[in-house]
């Protein structure tokens, strides 16, 4: 028989255990704040549009270094936004601005930090209709490759899911330049990146959610549904994570530089073969606003060659291999450092030693230098596995033929998907594989169906680059957590 004293101790222990469990698991699904995402079927024009946006985002601050925002949530005090999947390429959701609320469809972008609204062909924000509008008027310009978006700042309440962010700064665009055609599919961008890359140093929406006490945890998470037939394109959860969105445990990696959600990535494998490009580590960013997975041309050409994707033949590439291939081989065999080889050949010397007479000469010299450096990486990769010289240069010439088109994309025979290899990225010392079904995007239908490689060339110059942009192709396969409180990113298999 149990004594009263013993029974009281047991009761006390049970109560203590329950209290501890509550402390350790304080959130409920009702605390989650969700934003639903919508999506539409991918079209080739949307790939091109995405490329322009990528250039806009990643080129506007080559020295300041912009950030691209993401969507998130937690089981505690979380809000979720239902997202649409825009042509299986761009995911977007609905927000409201003003009182009463005026609705806009925006891309939730982990690769930028401002909220801005387009002006042409879209519902227009009417400040005179809002009781909570505050005039700001500060002008701004977002510059990209060949043009810019101009506008001015305004302030008003912004509704995201069930959350209302008060006095949020946002940009009303007044001129979109050549971006008008691609902005026709959505009304603007909501950036969830770090303030360090915010145009005008405007406080990002996510920062205000935290500062105004709207979420309990400084965490948001992103689940993308790659099923184009599904009604729900995905969800952003603010304030934590939804366990229904992932399997197993997350692998966490630290943010290495605030601005983008930047982290360090390890080696990349095609099948069981290393590309050799990131053995010593590569900088990468998680960017929900980029449709594909973009990286330096050197390794993208290797991956696309391995999966059978076709680009445009580069005459300069074959010219360099023909003229300098033997010398590249000899220098590498004699243990000259790979980064010194093209300098030794005189192809990458831009200083007092080289006089470049015209702009055309300068562009030509730059191209030859880039091609030489790619060839060095390719040859070095094969030397490591003791390939013969003949086989090495056969391989290099094949890569020349598989260089991506000037637009950066490559196409593939849709009938070959089932025979293609997995591509694996090493993150936090763990492998994250993409199957062909996950990294190939289909556009059109019937006789017009086209399959596009999910690997796109994008060469971002120093000091920001080189940089891998890990977009929706990867994020569709892996649930992603953005933890601004602990400056880390979590990755787990998506459900």
Beta carbons within 10 angstroms of residue 332's beta carbon: 17
109 in catalytic set: yes
According to DSSP, the β-strands at 468-470 and 282-286 are: parallel
Q: Which two tokens stand for residue 199?
A: 């145009």
Cα 95 from Cα 368, distance rounded (Å): 48
Rg (CA), the chain: 25
CB 11 within 8 A of CB 69: no
429 in catalytic set: no
Q: Which two tokens stand for residue 366?
A: 């730059």
According to DSSP, the β-strands at 293-295 and 468-470 are: antiparallel
According to DSSP, the β-strands at 90-97 and 80-86 are: antiparallel
Closest alpha carbon to 62 in 495, 465, 469: 465
Strands across the sheet with 423-427, in order?
Answer: 273-274, 268-270, 423-427, 430-434
Which of 74, 88, 187, 287 is labelled catalytic?
287
Which of 46, 74, 88, 109 is labelled catalytic?
109
Residues with catalytic function: 109, 287
């Amino acid at each position: 028989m149990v004594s009263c004293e013993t029974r009281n101790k047991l009761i006390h222990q049970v109560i203590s255990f329950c209290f501890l469990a509550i402390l350790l698991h304080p959130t409920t699904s009702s605390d989650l704040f969700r934003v639903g995402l919508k999506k539409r079927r991918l079209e080739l024009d949307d790939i091109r549009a995405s490329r322009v946006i990528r250039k806009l985002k990643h080129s506007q601050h080559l020295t300041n270094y912009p950030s691209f925002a993401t969507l998130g949530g937690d089981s505690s005090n979380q809000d979720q936004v239902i997202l649409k999947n825009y042509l299986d390429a761009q995911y977007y959701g609905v927000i409201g601005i003003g009182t009463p609320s005026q609705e806009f469809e925006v891309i939730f972008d982990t690769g930028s930090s401002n909220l801005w609204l387009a002006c042409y062909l879209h519902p227009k924000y009417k400040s005179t209709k809002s009781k909570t509008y505050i005039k700001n008027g500060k002008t701004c310009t977002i510059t990209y490759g060949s043009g810019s978006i101009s506008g001015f700042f305004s302030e008003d309440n912004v509704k995201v899911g069930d959350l209302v962010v008060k006095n949020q700064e946002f940009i009303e665009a007044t001129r979109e330049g050549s971006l008008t055609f691609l902005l026709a599919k959505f009304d603007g961008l909501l950036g969830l990146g770090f303030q360090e890359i915010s145009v005008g140093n405007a406080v990002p929406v996510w920062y205000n959610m935290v500062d105004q006490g709207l979420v309990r945890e400084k965490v948001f998470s992103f689940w993308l549904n790659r099923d184009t037939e599904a009604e729900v394109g995905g969800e952003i959860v603010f304030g934590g994570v939804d366990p229904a969105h992932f399997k197993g445990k997350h692998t966490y990696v630290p943010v290495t530089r605030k601005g983008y959600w930047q982290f360090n990535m390890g080696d990349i494998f095609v099948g069981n073969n290393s590309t050799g490009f990131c053995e010593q580590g590569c900088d990468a960013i998680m960017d929900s606003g980029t449709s594909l997975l973009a990286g330096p041309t050197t390794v993208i050409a290797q991956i696309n060659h391995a999966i059978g994707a076709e680009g445009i033949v580069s005459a300069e590439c074959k010219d360099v291999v023909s003229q300098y291939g033997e010398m590249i081989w000899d220098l590498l065999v004699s243990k000259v450092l790979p980064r010194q080889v093209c300098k030794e050949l005189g192809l990458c010397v831009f200083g007092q030693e080289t006089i470049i007479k015209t702009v055309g000469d300068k562009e030509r010299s730059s191209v030859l230098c880039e091609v030489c450096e790619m060839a060095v990486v390719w040859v070095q990769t094969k030397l490591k596995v003791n390939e013969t010289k003949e086989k090495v240069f056969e391989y290099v010439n094949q890569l020349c033929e598989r260089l991506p088109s000037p637009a950066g994309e490559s196409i593939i025979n849709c009938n070959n998907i089932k025979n293609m290899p997995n591509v694996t990225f090493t993150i936090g010392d763990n492998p994250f594989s993409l199957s062909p079904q996950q990294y190939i995007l289909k556009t059109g239908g019937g006789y017009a169906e086209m399959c596009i490689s999910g690997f796109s060339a994008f060469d971002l110059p120093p000091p920001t680059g080189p940089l891998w942009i890990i977009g929706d192709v990867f994020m569709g396969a892996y649930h992603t957590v953005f933890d601004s409180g602990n400056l880390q990113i979590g990755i787990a298999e998506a459900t």
